[in-house]
Homo-oligomer: A and B are copies of this chain.
Amino acid sequence: MTTHDDSERRAWAYLASVAEPPAASVIRLVAAIGPVDAAAAIRERSVPPGHAGVIEVTEARHMITTVDDDLAACDKMGARLLTPDDAEWPAWSLSALDRASTAARGGAPLALWVRGRAPLDVLGDTAVALVGSRAATSYGEYVAGQFASGLAAQGRAVVSGGAYGIDGAAHRGSLAAGGVTAAVLACGIDRTYPSGHARLLEEIGARGLVVSEYPPGTTAAKHRFLTRNRLVAALSGATVVVEAGRRSGATNTAAWATRLGRPLGAVPGSITSATSVGTHAMIADGQATLVADVDAVATLVTPDGEDPRGPAPTRSTDGLPRDQFRVIDAIPAHDGVSIDEIAFSSGLQVDAVRRALAGLDVAGLVDEDRGLWRLRR
């Protein structure tokens, strides 16, 4: 945290711990009254009308006293707690989760614990998720490594889940080629899970990014892998499944990519290999595009041969604090709208809209004329 005072930082750390992610009701409360007041309301069990759901999801943890320890652990690792208010928050990529999801499935995360020097928004549009079986074959690990190195050579970040098998091979391939790779974990960023990847995760933390929505100390659990998978897909411009058996967890990440409208690729293999049954099914069903080389993977994320590092038109709003992003999203392309209308469309309180508009005005993104706000050309 670089931009918030200590009370805000402590409030965010409390909010990130007080409910099991994804916690849509807590996120809504923060949007409505801000993090400091939200944290106080939860602790004091007195949330505003319309936010009763928060009481329920924070029942078990509202008394936690681990916030200072979590932040100390974070500082000790040289890590940071990122929130939608931070400039490096990949708002565009993550907001796709809100557009695609019901609350039950999980929207955007409330906050992210991040270890590593690269800004988190190196992920997103041009990054590629390489995922697949833990019980990978040597073929699958070879392909994952080759693809990751090739993507790194093109300046693309490689996102994966830090697991054995395909994930590990993808991270290693990216590191070997000097690329940025991000491991999105289903446990705290201070845990070494799986234990055999202690050194790999250390290296990713030093040269890439280790990311989690779970506070330090959180242990991996089955449901957290599924919740985590949505972030792997959301933080990547495209997802490629390298190897997957019939019931691989990678098919869940693939489903998220599809749900988010992101391109999905799958690598073919021998039809006699159990770990290619899943990828073949995705291709045969038309869910995934067959990708047989790294150029085909790159084409998934930049179909028209765009420069992967060039600014895409949608990215002018990337890196905006979440409220500003929601406000921008609520202003029509060719029309002026009042603050009340923006509050209605964005779901933000009028005060929050006013604050966000002030920021956007300073940033040169909006104009006001007789009470109507427009996007600036």
Contacts and interface: CB of A to CB of B under 8 A. Distances in A.
Interface of A: 139, 142-143, 267-272, 276-277, 280-281, 283-284, 289-293, 296
A293 B271 contact: yes
Given A269-B270, A270-B269, A270-B270, A284 B280 contact: no
Contact of A292 (B271, B289, B291): B271
A283 B290 contact: yes
B267 A292 contact: no
Pairs A-B, 5 closest by C-beta atoms = A268-B268, A280-B292, A271-B292, A284-B290, A283-B290
Contact of A283 (B142, B268, B270, B271): B268
A288 B291 CA distance: 14
Given A283-B283, A284-B296, A296-B284, A290 B268 contact: yes
Given A268-B271, A268-B280, A270-B269, A290 B290 contact: yes
A296 B281 CA distance: 11
A292 B291 CA distance: 16
Contact of A272 (B142, B271, B281, B289): B142
Nearest to A293: B271
B270 A139 contact: yes
A164 B133 CA distance: 36
28 contacts: A139-B270, A139-B272, A143-B271, A143-B272, A267-B271, A268-B268, A268-B270, A268-B271, A268-B276, A268-B280, A268-B283, A268-B290, A269-B269, A269-B270, A269-B271, A270-B270, A271-B293, A276-B292, A277-B292, A280-B292, A281-B292, A283-B283, A283-B290, A284-B289, A284-B290, A284-B291, A284-B292, A284-B296
A132 to B, nearest CB: 14
Contacts of A277: 292
A284 B293 CA distance: 11
Nearest to A147: B271
A143 B269 CA distance: 13
A82 to B, nearest CB: 37
A280 B270 contact: no
Contacts of A290: 268, 280, 283-284, 290
